[in-house]
A and B are shown apart, each in its own frame.
Chain A
Amino acid sequence: MTDTTTTYKERMPDALADRCREALREGESVRIAAATDLTEDLRFEDRWLVVTDQRLLRFDSNGAGTGNGDASIELSDAKSAAVEELVGSGRINVVIGNEDVEIIRYTPSQRAKFARIARGIDQLIKEDPVDMQGEVDKTRCDRCGRLLPEPNGICSACTNRLAMMQRIARYALPFKGKLALMVFLSLLFTLAELGPPYIMGRIIDDVLGVPAGGVPADGVAGDPFAFLYLLVVAYAVIRLVSFVLEIFKDRLSVWLGGRVIVSVREDLYENLSRLSMKFYNKRQVGSLISRVSNDTESMMWFLVDGVPYILTNLLLLVGILVLLFVTSWQLTLMVLIPIPLLVIGGGYFWVRLIRAFRTKYYRWGKLVGMAGEMLSSVRVVKTFVQEKREMRRFRSSNEGVFRGDYESEKEAAVFFSTVSMLTSSGLILVWYYGGSAVIDETFTTGALIMFIAYLWMLYEPLRWFGELNTWSSRAMSGAEKVFEIVDTPAETEDRDDPVEIKDMKGEVEFEGVGFAYEAGKPVLHDISLHVQPGEMIGLVGKSGSGKTTMTNLLCRFYDIDDGGLKIDGVPIRDIGLKDLRRQIGVVLQDSYFFSGSIAENIRYSSPDASLEQIMRAARTANAHDFICAKPDGYDTQIGENGKELSGGEKQRIAIARAIIHDPRILVLDEATSSVDTHTEKLIQEAIANLVKGRTTFAIAHRLSTLRRADRLVVLDAGKIVETGTHEELLDMKGHFYRMVETQRASTAVMAVGGGKADPNRGANGHTN
């Protein structure tokens, strides 16, 4: 009896464990031991809840003080236990007599855990078999112990830049050859870049510095002109070579960076379309769009410009340092003096810079989001004449962006001036000590000039390393965001060996199904319903009673939490998603259309359908006539959301789309949208044609649709309260009867008001 589903024990601190053992009676055994983070007087401290097979006990974390179970409750006194979700906290109550007694408080961070525990306690009280199954979400990182940004999420701190770079690099692997070529070209380019200062030094020392008629140190037979000529030609050749190399190198990097991003974007897009509805519920579309566009773009610039830049400059840095040391190690050390300062000072301003940039990007995102929101709800804005307010909101947001921009550029300016000031201090040292050495004749003029030229080349990239850091951090945070989506598992995934159901019969069985969109807030409780193939079920209930949720579970947009859901006797989780969705069709209240022609939209689910098949479907859906009447017929372009179509037309096209899809199970989320009586009749006919022979779940508001249903299922607060035919339910005089009465009453009011009470309904009687 001590397997993990029937007990739940967290590791207690030693003192408490001792204390707890003392408190136990003879033969009493611990079933649940769990820590909460909130005391009964609502302070953030640990409390322990210990549930034995006889009692409920509560301890504080060191076992001292309130000690011996300050809330000691005999299980035999209690009737039941349940969680109560409050705002910002929750608690477990047990019912003793006719009273709720709070036994433990917890913060929302512990919600999922205590929901399970409360179930366990309830089962212990009722002496039911105890089952506390279910994963408790992981809220802290295994490696660093940091709180995770989301339960079971990826610890941001433990994914570093290097890992991110490696990850990106993996995308470049298919282009190994080109990558190697680019590295090679960069190497050559670096060598070529190192040449000119050296030649400059030689010209000064060996040509210009030689007294007239004197013999250069190791010249060409003592002819300074010939030697000069040789050096100048060498200089020109080197410049030419590095010019050509740079062109090829840059082309390659643009190609490679672009290719990598194409693959990343592809992965991102693919996963976006695979992700579960749960994921989309939590996120704004705008921020997701920004991931596809902005974040991948910032990654791309980094790959195209940043990475090659780092590569060549790192090579250059190494080359220069070697040459400097060879020329004069004493001077080189002097040059390096400012570098620690550079690191510390740069680091300090760097943090501020990053912060400013973050704010800036956040504000940018907000501005873009706001503009997007305005554009997509432009009708609402205009209807309520709120253009001015929207403009005001935009203006203040725009102002915020400016301030963010200004702040970040200000920080950037400070950063770069600091860096250049520190670097020039190294240069001053070199002029002084190098100059002295030349006067002492321990160092040549040419060597000094060469040294300084290299120094400039050394500092130049150092100055820009700061900028590079902005790029890279921007790109890396972009990458992070992009990969977050790429890595998010599609919550409803296929089993490894899904059961194939090629031809579904359409038998559906809900067995005690429970479901919550958010842990602790159940939307469906104990739903049991057996639907025969071809049966039409009307789902009835107030909004929020769980109708749509039931159909969502059927489409497996979400996975059920409790109980079982079977189609043709196979648990829904075992059916391949592709098989499942191919045979389930949904006609939504709000039908979405893609930009394209009417024909393309109708055949969306079966791209191979011929125009004749499309027309047949459209005829069945009573859509053919009005489509033909349009100037472009089936080729009429409809924009996003079908703006060119009227409500009734959209519904019928959606029905035609479902007919072509030819699902075995149909979900009909019926629109309440008001159409004239003639159109209503056409739609009803279309629906009748559509549901023929298919298992149908209709979320219906129209009585006419409800009449057609074989059975009505009345939901209230997530529970099935009544089932039966239309007539049976009316006879029952229960929930359904009352709903119908209310509806009738309000229709009567409408009728008395001559239909003017509701402008939509008013249109019914008067148009056509």
Chain B
Amino acid sequence: MPDEPGVEAPDTFEFETGIENAPVEPYQASEIRVFRAPKNTVRMTVRDERSYIRVRPVNASPMAHSDRYVSLLDIKNEEVAFIKDLNDLDEDSRKVIEEELAHRYLRATIERVNSIQMEYGVTYWDVMTDRGKREFVIRGHENTHWASDSRLLLTDVDGNRFEVVDYTRLDAHSIQLIETNV
């Protein structure tokens, strides 16, 4: 922990339970600092006075506002801090939270649609994403959600998530496939 940049051991810890009760009002971005200690655990300190030894950043609205409204939960899933805008945090804290969010939310962005086949109410997709090639199956139209006129969110039968950021910007083949099948 001492080798974490800019971190001094906060002097108030409540170790008897290992858990602190969540504050009545969640702390704001300006009051907190977030860092890793140890490596894979996210710790939060409030004005360098109090420390929450294990917090979990979650997105309050991961689909509509994936870049804002981050809530920090303690291990009892109670909110300890709420960050409206990640830019309100200091640089290092923001980086940690961004990394954690990137870790928590996996949504592959579809870059090319190779084929879409519809059969009996089930759609077979073969796509190229920013994470590599993938085939998946979507049942019914319920799991195909247009977030806007051009942004498409998909959840496959297993719970894998995919996104087309703006389908009109894909290649002609992909556009045609999406227009005729979705």
Chain A residue with the shortest CB-CB distance to B105:
A87
- Taking the closest CB of chain B, its distance from the CB of A187, in whole angstroms, is 34
Q: Is B181 within 8 A of A108, CB to CB? A: no
- Taking the closest CB of chain A, its distance from the CB of B147, in whole angstroms, is 16
Q: Contacts of A146 on B, CB cut-off 8 Å?
A: 124
Q: Is B139 within 8 A of A149, CB to CB? A: yes
Instruction: Decide yes or no whether A147 CB sits under 8 A from chain B.
Output: yes
Q: Contacts of A574 on B, CB cut-off 8 Å?
A: none
Contact residues of B: prevailing secondary structure: mixed
Known contacts A89-B106, A147-B124, A477-B120; A45/B161 CB under 8 A: no
Q: Contacts of A99 on B, CB cut-off 8 Å?
A: 38-41
Q: Is B41 within 8 A of A481, CB to CB? A: no
Q: Contacts of B134 on A, CB cut-off 8 Å?
A: 44
Q: Is A42 within 8 A of B131, CB to CB? A: yes
Instruction: Decide yes or no whether B133 CB sits under 8 A from chain A.
Output: yes
Instruction: Decide yes or no whether B7 CB sits under 8 A from chain A.
Output: no
Instruction: Decide yes or no whether A553 CB sits under 8 A from chain B.
Output: no
- C-alpha spacing A626/B180, complex, angstroms: 61
Of A42, A102, A149, most buried by chain B (CB within 10 Å of CB) is A149
Q: Is B157 within 8 A of A149, CB to CB? A: yes
> Total interface residues on B, using CB and 8 Å?
35
The listed residue (A86, A97, A150) touching B105 by CB distance below 8 A is: A86
Known contacts A149-B157, A477-B121; A44/B41 CB under 8 A: no
Instruction: Decide yes or no whether A109 CB sits under 8 A from chain B.
Output: yes
Q: Contacts of B27 on A, CB cut-off 8 Å?
A: none
Instruction: Decide yes or no whether A463 CB sits under 8 A from chain B.
Output: no
Q: Is B131 within 8 A of A86, CB to CB? A: no
Contact with B along A76-89 (1 / 0, CB 8 A): 00000000001111
Q: Is A156 within 8 A of B132, CB to CB? A: no
Instruction: Decide yes or no whether A682 CB sits under 8 A from chain B.
Output: no
Known contacts A101-B40, A147-B135; A44/B108 CB under 8 A: yes
- C-alpha spacing A99/B36, complex, angstroms: 11
- Taking the closest CB of chain A, its distance from the CB of B50, in whole angstroms, is 20
Q: Is B103 within 8 A of A156, CB to CB? A: no
Instruction: Give the contacts of A127-171 with B (CB-CB under 8 A).
Output: 139, 146-151, 156-157
- C-alpha spacing A100/B56, complex, angstroms: 13
Instruction: Decide yes or no whether B122 CB sits under 8 A from chain A.
Output: yes
- Taking the closest CB of chain B, its distance from the CB of A6, in whole angstroms, is 27
Instruction: Give the contacts of B57-116 with A (CB-CB under 8 A).
Output: 62, 103-108
- B residues neighboring A (CB under 8 Å): 38-41, 62, 103-108, 118-122, 124, 129, 131-137, 139, 141, 156-161, 180-181
- A residues neighboring B (CB under 8 Å): 38, 42-45, 86-89, 97-102, 107-109, 111, 139, 146-151, 156-157, 355, 358, 362, 366, 477, 480-481
Extra A-B contacts (9), CB below 8 Å, given A146-B124, A358-B118: A42-B131, A44-B108, A100-B40, A139-B158, A149-B122, A151-B157, A156-B119, A355-B181, A362-B141
List 7 A-B residue pairs with CB atoms under 8 Å apart, sorted by A's residue number. A97-B38, A108-B160, A109-B158, A111-B159, A147-B136, A477-B121, A481-B120
Pairs of residues from A and B, 5 with the lowest C-beta to C-beta distance, nearest first: A88-B106, A108-B159, A44-B132, A156-B120, A89-B106
